[in-house]
Amino acid sequence: MRQFLLLFFLLIGFTSNINCQETKPEKLKKIVIDPGHGGDKPGAQGKISLEKDINLAVSLKLGQLLNQHLSSVEVIYTRKTDHDVDLIRRSQLANRERADLFISIHCNASKNHDACGTETFVMGLAKTQANIEAAKKENADILMEANYGEKYDGFDPNSPESNIFFSFYQNAYLEQSLTLAAKLQDQFTSNIKLLNRGVKQAPYLVLYKTSVPSILTEIGFISNPKEERYLNSQLGQYEIAASIFLAIKQYKNFLEGVNQPLPTMESLIPEEVIKQEKIAKENERKARELAHKLKESMLLENLSSHSDTVKSEVIYRVQFHTDTTKYSTESKKFEPLEDIWMYNDNGLWKYTAGSFKDFHQANQYRHKIRTKGYKDAFVVIFNNNQRISLEKAKEIESKIK
């Protein structure tokens, strides 16, 4: 019996020990995902897409990954469809829900179509004008909201003073926000081949009233044609969502002081998407190959049609008259003759008749028109409308044959 009791206590001790590890308080339980813009506020516009649609697609994929691989974390969206939500309501949702994290997802844009890469912002003092400009563009949505002055404490996205003033608002969780932002930029760098523009601070309105750790990530430039294609591809969207997921998981480990292993990037992307991407790449390769072959054959065709032109351009005519006056080829003067053509030689108009492929035919015609009164007629030869000698004509013809 004593032995049994000992075993019993040992077991209790053992299981409570496990429980002790398992019940380590989770500090990241609720995440608000905020797909930027929506509805009649499209955000930046690319050549083939709108920012609001990319933001939503990536946000939904991120939520899906969190549900699958971090199911203890509750995911709340500021929008799940293409509709507009006031900026202030997005941050209010995070506060009301007592979320542990707020992530706003956006695409960048620039007049310079070469601008590229990812960057992640936390609320704060912008160090450069470029960062203020980036925030200004995202904040401009409030201009379409009713009573924006009231809702945003008199903030005017177009006023430099306003931007500077709001820069001084700092999130109470600046430290945590910066930690997550840095982890996210690291994940972007190691997983996707976009330029790392770093972690920055700027006065983003969607961040300034959240009282939870908050970041706004710009996942690439919609204004850069190559990045826009990537941002619109299924693989691109999954790679970006998976990078954000991995950063959140790392951040969760950091907050909770645990070291749970991270899944691999590949395990986070559906096999079907990878398969489709391979097929798309293969098709692209085939299309390039076909285009190359087509170009080559067109080149050959051009060459052969070019030799046809050279061939047809050796033309034999019969010259029958020289004059200082230019007559119309339709002139009655030439009535019994055919195919009248003239050329100017040192200010004199020289008139020819007939158009033949070889000397023999032209010579026969010469005999024929001599009987019609043109006794001095003789054969002339042309190539590209230039008179050439019989030797030159033979040389060209031998090259063609």
Q: What residues line the site for Zn ion (CB under 5 A)?
A: 36, 43, 106, 138
Shortest Cβ distance from residue 138 to Zn ion (Å)? Answer: 5
Which residues face 341 on adjacent strands?
Answer: 352
CA dihedral 302, 308, 309, 313 (to 10 degrees): 170
Beta bridge partners of 77: 33
Instruction: Name the residue nearer to Zn ion (CB basis): 28 or 62.
Output: 62
How many other β-carbons are positioned within 10 Å of the β-carbon of residue 382?
18
Spell out where 214-313 has E strands.
214-221
CB of 43 or CB of 157, closer to Zn ion: 43
In terms of CB distance, is 78 or 319 closer to Zn ion?
A: 78
Find the residue with minimal CB distance to Zn ion: 106
Shortest distance in whole angstroms from residue 53 CB to Zn ion:
12
Query: Which one, of 169, 8, 143, lies nearest residue 84 by Cα?
Result: 143
Map tokens 């034999």 to a residue: 316
Q: Is-contact 344 350, C-beta < 8 A? A: yes
* Four-residue CA torsion sign, 283, 289, 291, 294: negative
Q: In terms of CB distance, is 125 or 140 closer to Zn ion?
A: 140
Q: Between 36 and 38, whose beta carbon lies closer to Zn ion?
A: 36
Q: 192 or 206, CB closer to Zn ion?
A: 206
Q: Which residue, among 206, 172, 177, 176, has the nearest Cα to 91 in the 3D structure?
A: 206
**Closest distance of CB 216 from Zn ion, Å:** 8
Residue type, 263: P
What lies within 8 Å, CB to CB, of 203 at 6+ separation is: 123, 124, 125, 126, 132, 135, 139, 163, 166, 167, 169
Shortest reach from residue 110's CB to Zn ion, in Å: 13
Residue 85's nearest CA partner among 119, 65, 59, 47 is 59
CB 187 within 8 A of CB 243: yes
CB of 210 to Zn ion, least distance (A): 16
Nearer to Zn ion, 104 or 319 (CB): 104
DSSP code of residue 383: E
Mapped onto helix, strand or coil, the DSSP state of residue 331 is coil
Nearest to Zn ion of 197, 317 (CB atom): 197
C-beta of 240: minimal distance to Zn ion in Å?
Answer: 14
Are 391 and 323 spatial neighbours (Cβ–Cβ below 8 Å)?
Answer: no
Q: Shortest gap between Cβ of 73 and Zn ion (angstroms)?
A: 25
- Taking the complex as a whole, how short is the minimal distance between the CB of residue 44 and Zn ion, in angstroms? 6
Distance of CA 241 to the CA centre of its chain: 18
CA angle 131, 132, 134 (to 5 degrees): 65
